[in-house]
Amino acid sequence: MGEFSPTPKKWLGDRAESLAAAYLEMAGMIILERNYRVARHEVDILARDGACLVCVEVRMRRGENCGRAAESLGPRKRMAMREAIRLVLREYSWRGEFRLDLLALDWRADGMGLALEHYRGI
């Protein structure tokens, strides 16, 4: 059996999620789950921000050929995120506050920097 070697896109996506989780922890959130599967959906990061349950979508872009990371979250994905949080709320029997957040990571084209934007309550 050979070693598993992730594709560059998968590796970058995993790295972006790790950076996002570290950022959220530094911001005082508690990470409950990563890559949480519910029905046919996946929540990148499930966290608590005080008494609030937060589903976080992580988007990452390299360079500017495909636009900025925040611009990559279209209406179809937003609908899927809303459905996912309804299912998460049911699975967790959650009755408190909740919200959807977006963490957008944009790598500079030269690979020498990273911009992170946190959009709360999208």
How many separate domains does the chain show?
A: 1
Per-residue pLDDT tens for 36-91? 998 888 999 999 999 999 999 998 877 666 678 788 888 888 889 899 989 999 99
Report if residue 3 sits inside a domain: no
Query: What are the contacts of 30-36 at 24+ separation with CB within 8 A?
Result: 36/88
Q: How confident is the model at residue 21 (pLDDT cuts 50, 70, 90)?
A: very high
Q: Say which CATH number the domain at 85 has.
A: 3.40.1350.10
Mean pLDDT across the chain: 85
Report if residue 61 sits inside a domain: yes
Residue 72 DSSP one-character state = G
Report if residue 67 sits inside a domain: yes
Report if residue 2 sits inside a domain: no
Report if residue 1 sits inside a domain: no
Q: Which are the contacts of 82, defined by CB distance < 8 A and separation ≥ 6?
A: 100
Can you give the residue range of the structural domain that contains 92? 8-119
What's the mean pLDDT in 21-39?
A: 94
Residue 111 DSSP one-character state = S
